[in-house]
Structure 1
Amino acid sequence: MAFSTAQQYTGFLITLPSIMILSRLLTPSEVGVYSVSITFVNIVHMLRDMGTSEYLVQLKEVDNDSARSAFTINLIIAWILALTLFFISPWLATFFNEAGIEPVLKILSLTFLVLPIGSIINAMLVREMQFGLRYKINVTQLLVQNGLTIALAWYGFSYYSPAWGAVAGMTATALGCLYWASEYRIRGLSLKQWRAVTDFGVKKTFETVSKQLGAAAPDFVIGRMLGMAQVGLFSRGQGLPRMFRQNIVGAIGAVSYSAYARHYREGGDPAELYLHKITLVTGLAWAFLGFASLFAYPIMMIFFGNQWVEAVPILRFMAVFAAISMSIVQYETLLTAIGRPGMAAIVTVIRQGLVIACLVAAATVSINVVAMALVPTAFVSLVVTLAFLSVYTTITPGRYLRAIKPSACIAVCALVPAAAMRWIYPPGPEAIWGPCFAGGLLWLAGYMLGMRYFDHPLWQEIKPVLAKLQPQRQRASTQG
Structure 2
Amino acid sequence: MAKQPETIVQSAARNTLWSYAATYGGKILIFITTVILAYFVTKAEYGLVGMGLTVIAFLEVMQDLGIGSAVIYREGEDAANTAFWLGCGIALTLFSITWLAAPLVATYFLQNNPNVIPIIRALGLSFPLFAMRNIHDALLRKRMQFKKRFIPDLIQVSSKGAISIGCALAGMGAWSLVWGQLGGSACGVIAYWMVNPWRPSFKLDRTVIKPLLSFGSNIVAVNGLSVILAQTDYLLVGRYLGEENLGVYTNGFRFPDLMVMQVCVALANVLYPLYSRLRDDPAGLQQGFFIASRYVALVTVPLSLGIAITAEPFVLTLLSVKWIETVPIMRTIAIYTLFLSLGYNVGDVYKAQNRTSILTKLSIARLIVLVPALWFAAAQFKSLQAVGITHAIVAFLGSTLNLVVAAKVLNMPIRRILSAFQPAAIAGTVMSICLMLTLLALQNTPAWLQLLAAVVVGIGSYAGTLWFGQREVLTQAGQTLRGAVARR
TM over 0.5: yes
Partner residue, 2:122: 107
Question: Partner letter of residue 471 of structure 2?
Answer: D
Partner residue, 2:104: 91
Alpha-carbon spacing, 1:92–1:464, altered in 2? closer, same or farther (3 Å): closer
CA distance in 2, matches of 1:129, 1:463: 21
Q: Are residue 312 (structure 1) and residue 327 (structure 2) matched? A: yes
1:301-343 CA-to-partner distances (Å, cap 9, x unmatched) read 1222211111111111111111111111132222111111122
1:407 positional shift: 1.1
Question: Which deviates further from its counterpart, 245-254 or 353-362?
Answer: 245-254
1:24 positional shift: 0.9
Alpha-carbon spacing, 1:177–1:188, altered in 2? closer, same or farther (3 Å): farther
Partner residue, 1:180: 195
Question: Which deviates further from its counterpart, 305-314 or 378-387?
Answer: 378-387
CA distance in 1, matches of 2:182, 2:61: 17
Alpha-carbon spacing, 1:338–1:186, altered in 2? closer, same or farther (3 Å): farther
1:439-469 CA-to-partner distances (Å, cap 9, x unmatched) read 22221111111222202645543478899xx
CA distance in 1, matches of 2:140, 2:430: 40
1:72-109 CA-to-partner distances (Å, cap 9, x unmatched) read 32222111111111111111011101432211111111
Partner residue, 1:383: 400
Partner residue, 1:68: 81
1:228-282 CA-to-partner distances (Å, cap 9, x unmatched) read 1111111111111100134444443331111111122566542321221111111
**3-state SS of 2:38 partner:** helix
Question: Partner letter of residue 235 of structure 1?
Answer: T
Partner residue, 2:39: 24
Alpha-carbon spacing, 1:188–1:325, altered in 2? closer, same or farther (3 Å): same
Partner residue, 2:438: 421
CA distance in 2, matches of 1:423, 1:441: 15
1:211 positional shift: 0.3
CA distance in 1, matches of 2:130, 2:374: 32
Q: Are residue 277 (structure 1) and residue 292 (structure 2) matched? A: yes
1:374 positional shift: 2.2
Give the % identical residues. 19
CA distance in 1, matches of 2:465, 2:229: 35
Partner residue, 2:8: none
CA distance in 2, matches of 1:167, 1:342: 34
CA distance in 2, matches of 1:351, 1:334: 19
1:413-454 CA-to-partner distances (Å, cap 9, x unmatched) read 322211211222226xx6312222222222111111122220
CA distance in 1, matches of 2:474, 2:181: 34
Gaps of 5+ in 1: 468-480
- Correspondence list, 1:247-266, <5 A: 247-265=262-280
* Residues 430 and 462 in structure 2, CA contact (< 8 A), matched pair in contact too: yes
CA distance in 1, matches of 2:76, 2:25: 31
* Residues 93 and 101 in structure 1, CA contact (< 8 A), matched pair in contact too: yes
Question: Partner letter of residue 178 of structure 1?
Answer: W
Q: Are residue 367 (structure 1) and residue 384 (structure 2) matched? A: yes
**What is the aligned residue count?**
463
Alpha-carbon spacing, 1:304–1:13, altered in 2? closer, same or farther (3 Å): same
Partner residue, 1:401: 418
CA distance in 2, matches of 1:69, 1:164: 31
* Residues 307 and 334 in structure 2, CA contact (< 8 A), matched pair in contact too: yes
Alpha-carbon spacing, 1:306–1:187, altered in 2? closer, same or farther (3 Å): farther
- Correspondence list, 1:109-258, <5 A: 109-183=124-198, 185=200, 188-258=203-273
**3-state SS of 2:207 partner:** coil
Partner residue, 2:4: none
Alpha-carbon spacing, 1:186–1:306, altered in 2? closer, same or farther (3 Å): farther
Partner residue, 1:335: 350
Alpha-carbon spacing, 1:71–1:456, altered in 2? closer, same or farther (3 Å): farther
Alpha-carbon spacing, 1:159–1:67, altered in 2? closer, same or farther (3 Å): same
Question: Which deviates further from its counterpart, 103-112 or 174-183?
Answer: 174-183
Alpha-carbon spacing, 1:186–1:311, altered in 2? closer, same or farther (3 Å): farther
* Residues 67 and 186 in structure 1, CA contact (< 8 A), matched pair in contact too: no
Partner residue, 1:476: none
Q: Are residue 355 (structure 1) and residue 370 (structure 2) matched? A: yes
CA distance in 2, matches of 1:281, 1:456: 17
Q: Are residue 6 (structure 1) and residue 21 (structure 2) matched? A: yes
Alpha-carbon spacing, 1:381–1:15, altered in 2? closer, same or farther (3 Å): same
Question: Partner letter of residue 422 of structure 2?
Answer: K
Partner residue, 1:478: none
* Residues 53 and 119 in structure 1, CA contact (< 8 A), matched pair in contact too: yes
CA distance in 1, matches of 2:125, 2:49: 15
* Residues 280 and 457 in structure 1, CA contact (< 8 A), matched pair in contact too: no
Structure 1 segments (4+ residues) deviating >4 Å: 184-187, 265-268, 462-467
1:369 positional shift: 1.5
- Equivalent position to 1:325, from 331, 340, 348: 340
Alpha-carbon spacing, 1:108–1:190, altered in 2? closer, same or farther (3 Å): farther
CA distance in 2, matches of 1:387, 1:213: 23
Gaps of 5+ in 2: 1-14, 484-488
CA distance in 2, matches of 1:424, 1:463: 38
Partner residue, 1:455: 471
Question: Partner letter of residue 42 of structure 1?
Answer: A
CA distance in 2, matches of 1:463, 1:276: 13
CA distance in 1, matches of 2:295, 2:280: 24
* Residues 263 and 300 in structure 2, CA contact (< 8 A), matched pair in contact too: no
1:63 positional shift: 4.2
* Residues 290 and 420 in structure 2, CA contact (< 8 A), matched pair in contact too: yes
Q: Considering only aligned residues, what root-mean-square deviation do their CA atoms show, in Å?
A: 2.1
1:170 positional shift: 1.6
CA distance in 1, matches of 2:84, 2:474: 39
